[in-house]
Amino acid sequence: MLTNDSRLEDFPSLAERTYLNTAAEGIPPLPVINALHQYAQDKILGMDGRDLHEVQWAEAKSEIAQAYNLTADEIGICSCTSEAYNMAAIALQLQEGDEVVINDLDFPAGATPWLQTACPATVHVWRSRDGALRVDDLVPLLNAKTRLLTVSLVSFFNGFKVPLDDVRAAVRRHSSALLALDVTQALGRVPLDLTDVDFVVSSTHKWILASHGGGLVGVPQARVAEWTSPAGGWFNIENAFDADRFNHPAVSKPGAASFTAGMPNYAAVYAINAGLRYIRSVGVENIAEHADPLVRACIEGLRALPIDLLTPDEPAALAGIVSFRHEKPAAIQTILRDADIHIMSTDGRMRVAIHGYNTATDVETFLAVLHQALKDV
């Protein structure tokens, strides 16, 4: 795990501030910054740099495959999770009579493709109770018509971690639906077991400490038929440059490869490769072992304050995020920012995110300033 010296060496911008907002924006370590510099050096070579970009592409796919426990051939990289979900919607080609299950703790990207009027499927909402998604409430929504359940492993809203084993079992027992899992708020922070998950996606600018511009797609070989997107493009097309390409139907590359429609964002690829390598060098298990007690300390501190805790206080459901409400969020956020304490505040909800580069001092400082702020507002 990071020492104080290695923390400041790798994350010099954290020396003078309390940063608890990784669920919105991760802080890239120096290896990621150096990788972006390397991209620029390779880019100025023109087409000669393309070969170097492609090396990074292959290495990044290998890193993603290790994180997802898939093979590199089962990995695709697009521009963001929103693009990935829209490509997934094209791939499924849902029909009238099909059913999709979304939930009310998810980020909009995972739900809105199915809520568009162009989507013919019937959408059911798995609704949370007391901030938690209960499998008992999911089961009645599953049936022979269910084509898809989409859910985040860790909710962006309040940090609730779904009981994935129980969710998988319910889906397999009560339907033949595909299980799509968004690991954006888990990858790089929570040890993953993605066994028997049909589609995996993550963004890249949060817990893996890379850049914007990446959507990491995983499609197991067994699910290639369901998740091959017939989108137009060229990078995703087998016969894009055949001599007679305009005289025959376009043929999509299979599975995850079909999600990269055009030129890859190679700058993001360099950052993804470096970010995942950095996370792997530290170890996700080590990160969790270090940061989980800080999450517990944060919750215990918040429980003593006059706020409305939104994160279920259930050990198995905790990850890296703690959310709460207060009637004067703007005033509190101003006081926190004046103290150089960075959390997320939106729509009355305040969110703390704790990663491997955070310390007990970060949590203590946040709680102390928040305690005084609640007295002053």
pLDDT digits (tens, 9 = 90+) for 13-35: 999 999 999 999 999 999 999 99
Closest CA relative to residue 256, chosen from 230, 231, 228, 276: 228
> In angstroms, rounded to a whole number, what is the distance separating the alpha carbons of residues 23 and 353?
6
In tens, the pLDDT along 247-296 reads: 999 999 999 999 999 999 999 999 999 999 999 999 999 999 999 999 99
CATH 3.40.640.10 spans which residues of the chain?
Answer: 32-280
Q: What is the pTM of this model?
A: 0.97
> In angstroms, rounded to a whole number, what is the distance separating the alpha carbons of residues 361 and 352?
14
Quote the radius of gyration of the chain (alpha carbons, Å): 21
- The tokens for 220 are 């197991």
| Average pLDDT across the chain, whole number | 97
Q: Tell me yes or no: is domain 32-280 CATH 3.40.640.10.
A: yes
Question: Residue 1's pLDDT is what?
Answer: 79
DSSP state of 109: G
Asked if residue 156 lies in contact with residue 128, where contact means CB atoms within 8 angstroms, the answer is: no
In tens, the pLDDT along 174-186 reads: 999 999 999 999 9
Please give the C-alpha separations between residue 33 and each of 3, 209, 210, 211, 278, in angstroms, as whole numbers. 20, 10, 9, 9, 12
> In angstroms, rounded to a whole number, what is the distance separating the alpha carbons of residues 338 and 350?
16
CATH 3.90.1150.10 spans which residues of the chain?
Answer: 4-28+283-376
pLDDT band at 246 (very low <50, low <70, confident <90, very high): very high
> In angstroms, rounded to a whole number, what is the distance separating the alpha carbons of residues 204 and 188?
10
Asked if residue 284 lies in contact with residue 229, where contact means CB atoms within 8 angstroms, the answer is: no
Report the CATH superfamily, name and number, of domain 4-28+283-376: Aspartate Aminotransferase, domain 1 (3.90.1150.10)
Partnered with residue 349 across adjacent β-strands are 325, 346
> In angstroms, rounded to a whole number, what is the distance separating the alpha carbons of residues 23 and 26?
7
Partnered with residue 353 across adjacent β-strands are 21, 321
